[in-house]
Amino acid sequence: MKIPKLFLFLVAAFLAIGPLAAPRAHAQVTVGFFYDSLDPYGEWIQTADYGYVWQPTGVADNWAPYTDGYWAYTDSGWTWVSYEDYGGVVYHYGRWTNLADVGWVWVPGNTWAPAWVSWRTSDDYVGWAPLPPEARWHAGFGFNGAVDVTFDIGPGFYSFVGVHDFGAPALGAVIINREQNVNIITNTTNITNITVNNSNVFVGGPSYAKFSALSSRPIPALKLVRQGDAAAIHGAGGKLLAHQEGNQLMVLAPKITAPAGGALPTPPKVAKTLGHVTATHGWDGVKDPQVREKLQAQFKQQAGSSAKEPARPVNPEDLKVVKNKAEGASKGLAAGGATPKTGKSKKARTPSLTDLENAPAKEEPATAGETPKTAKTKTKTKSKKAKTPSDHDTGDADSGTPSKHKKESTDSDLQPFMSGDSSEPKSKKNSEDSEKNVEDRGRESDHPAGEARTPRAKKSDKKPKEEEGNPTPQ
């Protein structure tokens, strides 16, 4: 029997090429990924309550998390797009807490999310606050509108903007001075709803339909594309900034392998070691005890019995937003044959880093007889010295025992990495520039996700003096 020459040729070709290449696997990333990514932009501190925590250096005195960037709506809900080189790590993994005499610090975690924040809204304002380490992730339960009560999140932790500024491409310029938060928060409701959709964390909150209509600038609605392969991580060069490609938001979201034994390994460099630390809660701006009690009672009444209930499932209508936007863009391209341009100018430009960082702040309408003002930026050089609480830190320090919420938590997101207590802020970043730049940016900007930025000053190798009696790093 003769074997066809073509068959023999195909067999020889297969043997020469070998089996088909296997699909590129996602990287097996350990917590060393955090150390490598964050080392140039801050310092690690050992605490008795939270284990190893990270603090950015070279930031303003009134800096706070989730202020240097903008919000995009994706098929995984509200996603924070940061302009900070370290933002791809600290706003999507782990939680933030504010320590008395130290300031804001990040506590590592191994679950990626579009953001870890609490949401409050009214007809006039939208606000968000970092969730504390005590807010540990349970996929079957999630987080709902009771988070302020459950984790004692006070007014000083929230970043509020007017509804017309919610779509601003640089929110730090329009965040209202936190001194106005007590007046604003009284008329808001907590609408937090973080749950699971298709095995991914979904961050619900403000209605996209409602607040995109109220915003003076369009709020991006994009398909979220998570990249976790080794090549993408290596190609990022240590920077994990999200970037937009058409109607997609590309993010690096490697799966973090929990450390053996559950304890976070010792970072290559530990700037200082602290004993027990006191987390604050954002109530410092409430000087009158009766006002504080009234607000806490209001929060509790709003939460009702929801603290014992899981987060709501994702509304299918919310998932249609991104799909409809994508289909609309495709139809527009098919009909017009060209990519739509933003802004009125034929030579629309992407705002420079100077524009974004020095954009003027807008004043908000008066609430309760007062005119909200945007916060002023206090510049400071990076320092390794412990910082005293800012005007927005709370005076209600925790006792020496961990909070009850910490004791009741048994979650797999943060538990392997921490051992402790509660949280609060160093404030936020705003700017002082001409009103003209903001209007120019509103006409010409299209949310420049992932634009290159000048790296923050690298911390000094000089080791601060350690406190007496502090435990030795393990």
pLDDT in tens, 305-345: 888 899 999 999 888 989 887 666 555 544 554 443 333 33
Residue 268 has what pLDDT? 93
What percentage of the chain carries pLDDT values higher than 90?
A: 51
Reported confidence tier of residue 30, pLDDT bands at 50, 70, 90: confident
Q: Which of 71-80, 118-127, 154-163, 236-245 has the lowest mean pLDDT?
A: 236-245
pLDDT tens per residue, range 361-405: 434 444 444 445 454 444 443 433 333 333 333 333 333 333 333
Give the residues across from 79 on adjacent strands.
Answer: 72
Tokens representing 427?
Answer: 């404030």
Tokens representing 77?
Answer: 């809900």
Evaluate if residue 450 carries a pLDDT over 70: no
Give the residue carrying structure tokens 């006409």. Answer: 443
What percentage of the chain carries pLDDT values higher than 70?
A: 60
b/e per residue 423-444 (b: at least 16 CB within 10 A): bbbbbbbbbeeeeebbebbbeb
Residue 238 has what pLDDT? 53
Most confident of 32-36, 112-116, 224-228: 112-116
Residue 277 has what pLDDT? 94
pLDDT tens per residue, range 257-278: 888 877 889 999 999 999 999 9
Dist CA 150 CA 302 (whole Å): 12
Residue 76 has what pLDDT? 97
Q: E strands, 122-253, where? A: 125-130, 159-162, 189-190, 193-197, 200-204, 221-227, 243-245, 248-252
Q: Which of 99-113, 294-308, 354-368 has the lowest mean pLDDT?
A: 354-368
Evaluate if residue 426 carries a pLDDT over 50: no
Tokens representing 45?
Answer: 């501190």
Domain positions in the chain are 24-334+363-444
Residue 385 has what pLDDT? 38
Tokens representing 208?
Answer: 């996209």
Residue 350 has what pLDDT? 40
CA geometry: angle 49, 380, 46, nearest 5 deg: 15
pLDDT tens per residue, range 157-180: 999 999 999 999 999 999 999 999
b/e per residue 157-189 (b: at least 16 CB within 10 A): bbbbbbbbbbbbbbbbbbbbbbbbbbbbbeebe
Number of separate helices (H) and strands (E) present in the chain:
12, 16
Give the residue carrying structure tokens 């050992």. Answer: 46
Residue 14 has what pLDDT? 44
Which of the 8 DSSP states describes residue 232? H
Q: Which residues contact 392 (CB under 8 A, 6 or more apart)?
A: 62, 64, 156, 178, 282, 284, 285, 424, 425, 426, 427
Residue 141 has what pLDDT? 95
Dist CA 70 CA 66 (whole Å): 8
Give the residue carrying structure tokens 């370290």. Answer: 86
* Mean pLDDT of the 175-195 span: 97
pTM: 0.71
> Rounded to whole angstroms, what are the CA distances from 219 to 79, 248, 382?
11, 14, 34
Tokens representing 154?
Answer: 């006070």
Do residues 105 and 272 make contact, with C-beta atoms less than 8 angstroms apart?
A: no
Evaluate if residue 28 carries a pLDDT over 90: no
Residue 259 has what pLDDT? 83
Tokens representing 10?
Answer: 């195909």
Specify burial of residue 58 (Cβ count, 10 A radius: 0-12, 13-18, 19+).
middle
Evaluate if residue 223 carries a pLDDT over 60: yes
Residue 325 has what pLDDT? 78
Give the residues across from 190 on adjacent strands.
Answer: 120
Q: What is the mean pLDDT of the chain?
A: 74
Dist CA 331 CA 280 (whole Å): 51
Choose among 366, 363, 383, 387: nearest CA to 375.
363
Q: E strands, 26-149, where? A: 42-47, 51-56, 69-74, 77-82, 95-99, 103-107, 117-121, 125-130
b/e per residue 6-32 (b: at least 16 CB within 10 A): eeeeeeeeeeeeeeeeeeeebbebbbe
Evaluate if residue 222 carries a pLDDT over 90: yes
Give the residues across from 250 on adjacent strands.
Answer: 225, 243
Give the strand order in the sheet containing 77-82: 193-197, 200-204, 77-82, 69-74, 221-227, 248-252, 243-245
Reported confidence tier of residue 448, pLDDT bands at 50, 70, 90: low
Dist CA 121 CA 281 (whole Å): 20
